[in-house]
């Protein structure tokens, strides 16, 4: 299992939720962490909590502002020496069917969840290529394995994140940069945070239960993706059934199974982060 001692890490959207839980785990492993977040109050609160465990740098960042991203990437290298691991965790959720929200909301969803990953990855990939060493971890979603009504544009971005990450992995291999790794993480609904209130119906909730807290996903990022090098950890692990059953069943059967599992109603009770 790979050691993370003295590794230098950048986490986007790292002041709360999955990002904060991941920063805690990385610091406990001996890494140095830079946290980017748009929420200034949460960012300074996170720094107070995190610096008890190790060296932490914080910066206010809107990841959709590419000029700011490239500027902070240079600062991260100056402050930490280099960046070994990038965790693209910043995300945005706006519930509702396609006609329920404005173009601006859907564009914001795409820009934060997908376009920003192009900026952040480009900002650090050359350095990783030069060293033939590094790891990019992108937060996708269980929704990247099926269509979720009431979450269509978000779902589209998470399908795209999975495809982007796999493509980059093959690009690295084609460029003889096998030391540069890429992983996606696929959480199902988490009891707290951005997806609070969302849940599958019966029997889906028995097969794919709610993720109890953000640290479950942080553990998947640190232990499964980074330390063990796994390509696409899914939590709970039963999310893997979506991929396997889609490949095995006729499409009409798979669609009916998703209805039986309660996927179409899963966002009806969604409240989000309070």
CA torsion angle 165 170 171 172 (round to 10): 90
What's the whole-number mean pLDDT along residues 78-82? Answer: 98
Give the mean pLDDT of the chain.
96
Is the pLDDT at 1 greater than 80? The verdict is: no
Contact criterion met (CB below 8 Å) for 109 and 154: yes
- 70 catalytic, yes or no? no
Q: What is the pLDDT of residue 27?
A: 98
With respect to CATH, is domain 8-194+209-242 assigned 3.40.50.720? yes
Phi, psi of 109, rounded to the nearest 5 degrees: -60, -45
Catalytic residue among 70, 92, 119, 154: 154
Of the listed ranges 110-114, 188-192, 231-235, 267-271, the least confidently predicted one is 267-271
pLDDT tens-digit readout, 162-213: 999 999 999 999 999 999 999 999 999 999 888 999 999 889 999 999 999 9
Contact criterion met (CB below 8 Å) for 86 and 124: yes
For the chain, the domains span 8-194+209-242
pLDDT bucket at 91, cuts 50 / 70 / 90:
very high
Taking the C-alpha atoms of residue 195 and residue 189, their distance in angstroms, rounded to an integer, is: 6
pLDDT tens-digit readout, 55-72: 999 999 999 999 999 999
**pTM greater than 0.85:** yes
pLDDT bucket at 270, cuts 50 / 70 / 90:
confident
Q: What is the pLDDT of residue 268?
A: 86
């Amino acid at each position: 299992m790979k050691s993370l001692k003295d590794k230098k890490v950048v986490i986007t959207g790292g002041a709360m939720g999955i990002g904060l839980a991941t920063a805690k785990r990385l610091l406990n492993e001996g890494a140095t962490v830079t946290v980017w977040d748009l929420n200034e109050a949460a960012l300074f609160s996170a720094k107070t909590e995190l610096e008890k465990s190790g060296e932490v740098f914080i910066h206010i960042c809107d990841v959709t502002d590419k000029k700011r991203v490239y500027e902070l990437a240079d600062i991260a290298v100056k402050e930490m020496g280099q960046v070994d691991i990038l965790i693209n965790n910043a995300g945005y959720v706006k519930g509702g069917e396609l006609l329920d929200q404005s173009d601006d909301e859907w564009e914001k969803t795409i820009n934060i969840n997908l376009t920003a990953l192009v900026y952040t990855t480009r900002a650090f990939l050359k350095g990783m290529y030069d060293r033939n060493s590094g790891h990019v971890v992108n937060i996708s979603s269980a929704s990247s394995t099926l269509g979720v009504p009431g979450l269509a544009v978000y779902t589209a971005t998470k399908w795209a994140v999975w495809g982007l990450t796999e493509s980059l992995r093959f690009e690295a291999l084609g460029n003889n940069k096998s030391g540069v790794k890429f992983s996606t993480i696929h959480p199902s609904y988490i009891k707290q945070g951005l997806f609070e209130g969302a849940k599958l119906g019966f029997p889906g909730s028995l097969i794919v239960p709610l993720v109890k807290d953000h640290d479950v996903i942080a553990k998947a990022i640190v232990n499964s993706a980074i330390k063990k090098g796994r390509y696409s950890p899914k939590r709970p692990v039963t999310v893997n059934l979506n991929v396997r059953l889609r490949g095995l069943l006729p499409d009409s059967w798979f669609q009916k199974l998703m209805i039986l599992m309660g996927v179409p109603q899963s966002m009806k009770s969604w409240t989000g982060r309070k």
